[in-house]
A and B are shown apart, each in its own frame.
Chain A
């Protein structure tokens, strides 16, 4: 049954149905509604068997999650933006230790200048921290990705980050269907950790590894993470069988025969599909639910026939350009397709259908640069660039 609810509420209800046992929480906009709701469910008893810990920082939140997961509890937390960066050191540690923590990231820009609105700078800055990264296109996807995330995390013994566009999704009221508890219980069995801190069988976790073995440890971690490329789709298919909701690592939309293909992650994909629908055809869309590990083969298959691939990104790498574009270029190596990066929707700027259509018109007219910023106020930047600076 579909019901109208806020994205954060839908995520919190879904997480509760996944029966986390420890939830360390620290507030940061726009993630707060999620942990507030989880905290209330723990307090009123509707989420039983769960310890909700109000910690003093995101660093402490991820650290407590590490301890809880290592001691055998299903562990969840949520953060955004500066909070994700504040836990950066612990993110690498959680993946290095192979702890299946699930975390929502309510994507938000990073300062300075401080900005509370949506883009992907936060999660993209941590793309190499060894976590699986999933991106939700809408709130129904946010629900499904969270359930799959717990299963995938525990299946691979690796942490999973579910990225949900801040405000755009977290604060949006949409009709969604929550999978029923029995279906989730059947899909997601109780957590059976691979290694457990216990006096019955003492283990040393987190030893110091020197040059003689460090490379091998890293190789194996990469190998393990890569299992998620196919593993995600297998578990998503099981989820679909249990709930009827379809999610895949990579999805194509009108890509057959498309000369131009737009690649995107997150909520902007819906706008792009609407924009493309209003045009005459010839443009396809590829959306990534799975960004790390990068499903290069699937991306290559879906865009192989295109002349022009446009990667619309809600983040960028200063001094270099696109972030996702680099992965897409790598996936298309040897193919003739041109790849353009369009940085869009930074710091909460709306990405409209009209802007996307304008971008496509530029592309078809051969005016789209290798790197461009959608709806850039050129008058403002030209004026600033023309202003002499005292040194």
Chain B
């Protein structure tokens, strides 16, 4: 039997196998005693990126706060699939109010904890991309601007999935949604639209902004840990593939999240007080086609009438990210 070379980067990323790491470096998800903040039994779809990311984020936040954590949730898939009365998957105190107001509700919770002498309890607000970049943006901007002591986490699946895959301000160009159908001369979501929420957050010069994907577990947990080590307004934007909305195989959720980062369309960064402090370099770049092709929401770009023009426009967006954040530069 021939020996096998152990590669430190087993899967071409920082998702180092936990078995190769000393115990204190392992992910919280490898801890059998983790909180399981979003417990099993909920009703998310197979392969739901948001359900995975929410558990990863909250378990890491529970660890970082030694269990002194309160979660606030916007209306959306995460709220619906986790709390069908009288059941609840939440193993942390959890409050859902409305679609647009999670950031403001969290502001109120943080103020109340402070005024009742319990400010060792930390507040985490969470919502989808619609609840964050669209309907909830005013409340979120207010929370940022006042530097309220809240970590806001956006689970970005790039459309309104809960209502049946309609376009949001986070839907990428060319993607098919139920309100940007793959028909006509310019199929899918128009180019030149959408919001770069991480940069909007950075413009508020809040203590901490980071982007992450559900594929990079170590990176995601480290960012939650960093966020919870700070006070004031913090923002974490996590890319979470949605098999239903993206038309992808449930088993491909992690692979697609990783490809989004490797092709440059979803850059991973950290910023403090408005300045980028770190990026996750792309170790093994891929063309955008490799990320787009497994997703039916981009099927109109391939097939019988391939749209090289659209693909090159999408590649240009990825290249712009790579240049802006120097994602192909060597690590120090």
Contact = CB atoms under 8 A, between A and B. Distances in A.
Main secondary structure, interface of B, reads: mixed
Given A66-B97, A198-B121, A213-B85, A59 B139 contact: yes
Contacts of B116: 21, 71-73
B111 A22 contact: yes
Interface string A187-201: 000000000011101
B69 to A, nearest CB: 6
Given A60-B101, A89-B98, A90-B98, A67 B109 contact: yes
Interface residues of B, number: 46
B114 A51 contact: yes
A56 B95 contact: no
B115 A56 contact: no
Interface residues of A, number: 44
Given A63-B101, A64-B104, A208-B83, A69 B93 contact: no
B90 A202 contact: yes
B108 A63 contact: yes
B189 to A, nearest CB: 28
Interface string B118-141: 100100000000000000001101
A254 to B, nearest CB: 46
A334 B80 CA distance: 47
B111 A64 contact: yes
B90 A68 contact: no
A53 interface: yes
B25 to A, nearest CB: 26
B139 A71 contact: no
Contacts, number: 167
A56 B139 contact: yes
A203 B86 CA distance: 12
B142 to A, nearest CB: 4
Nearest to B95: A205
A53 B138 contact: no
A54 B91 CA distance: 32
B112 interface: yes
A202 B35 CA distance: 12
B80 A24 contact: no
Nearest to A190: B116
Contacts of B79: 206, 208
Contacts of A206: 73, 79, 83, 94-97
Nearest to B87: A207
Interface in A26-79: 49-51, 53-57, 59-61, 63-73, 75
A69 B111 CA distance: 10
B203 to A, nearest CB: 16
Q: Which of B88, B98, B145, B148 has the most CB of A within 10 A?
A: B98
B128 to A, nearest CB: 15
Given A22-B115, A60-B138, A204-B88, A66 B105 contact: yes
Given A206-B97, A207-B85, 9 more contacts: A53-B146, A56-B141, A56-B145, A67-B104, A68-B112, A71-B70, A72-B112, A90-B97, A205-B95
17 contacts: A21-B112, A21-B115, A50-B115, A51-B114, A53-B108, A53-B148, A54-B146, A59-B101, A60-B104, A64-B105, A67-B111, A68-B115, A75-B108, A198-B93, A202-B92, A204-B90, A208-B83
Interface of B: 67-70, 72-73, 79-80, 83-86, 88, 90-98, 100-101, 104-116, 118, 121, 138-139, 141-142, 145-146, 148
